[in-house]
Amino acid sequence: MEYRFELALCSALESTDRVVARQLGAAVAAPGSRVVDVCLLEPGPGFDERAAIASDTIPPAAVEAPVGPGTAVPVRDAFETDPGRAAGIVDAAVEAGYLERERRDGVDCVRATARYPDDWVGSLTAVENKPDLGRPGDLEAQLRFDVALGLFDEVVLATASYVTRAHLNRIPDPVGVWRFDPETDEREVVREATPLAPTDPGVEIRDERGLRTDVALVDAAAKARKRRRIAERAYGKGWRPAPPACARAAVTADGRPRCEHFDRVVHPGGECGEGCPAFEADEGPDADLESLRDARSAWVADPDGGGPRRQTGLGRFGE
């Protein structure tokens, strides 16, 4: 249920004024310890410049390296790491379209294909999905983590449940609350989110045991680097999963994987395959998910083909 809820919410939130992505790492001191369900990226002034560079994620190490579109820089000077890892970073950045190689006096060098805009991200919103508040799991701890760290501009809880005062009292005050119906795409704002302070230092909760809480202090520079990495990952990844390689698989009009046998949206990695009694190996449906994403969001599929698009009317979360 939660997976189908998440995909329906992503589809409902997607618009040509923003980028929507799923399942992104959102911890700084202990990477991998926190994953947010949905991330909304609102474009900033430099968004068109970023979109014109590449449709894929640009490797963070390449963005952070002292390499620009001017004079080429020796790879060994650009990346303070072992040669094998440096070569991998360069390969990925070249494939993405951000770096280009050249040799100078027998030395491998790189230069950026364009200036990387620092202002391409307007805001980042984290959405935690919990369709059934009667089964909250680690919800409170996850939301406390997000609020204390302040990595996102806003944090929102999305649920299908009726939200009571008791529910609100257990949710950190800055967290906004949406009630969302995945069948109709109707979304009610039960409580507006309070803006956080992503440019300030934050506190990352590492462990909570009874009266003891272990934390790590995260400075503003580290948060800024992580926000850029989240934005890059969100831009390159999106939210649509590939449909299963099954003869009964289909794709909905908005790009969600659907099973014709069970007549519903399915989780390709969790429900499909040899363990499903209706599974029949096949190439799967012919789905052009990139074209769908290009048409329905601010993401640009082929920046070399038509150049950057102008973003207008950047509303907050309007339908």
List, as one string, the DSSP characters of 173-219: TT-EEEEEETTTTEEEEEEPPPP--TTS-EEEEEEEETTEEEEEEE-
Query: What is the H or E stretch that residue 264 is in?
Result: strand 264-265
pLDDT tens sequence across 297-314: 999 999 973 333 434 333
- The pLDDT score that the predictor gives to residue 89 is 96
- The pLDDT score that the predictor gives to residue 308 is 39
- The pLDDT score that the predictor gives to residue 211 is 75
- The pLDDT score that the predictor gives to residue 130 is 96
Which class does domain 59-112 fall in?
mainly alpha
The conformation of residue 305, written as its DSSP 8-state character, comes to H
Residues of the chain with CATH 1.10.10: 59-112
pLDDT tens sequence across 245-255: 999 999 999 99
pLDDT tens sequence across 204-224: 998 877 778 899 999 999 999
pLDDT tens sequence across 32-73: 999 999 999 999 999 999 999 999 999 999 999 999 998 899
- The pLDDT score that the predictor gives to residue 312 is 35
pTM of the model: 0.91
- Residue 35's DSSP bridge partners are 25
**Could you tell me what percent of the chain has a pLDDT over 90?**
83
Average pLDDT, the chain: 92
The conformation of residue 245, written as its DSSP 8-state character, comes to S
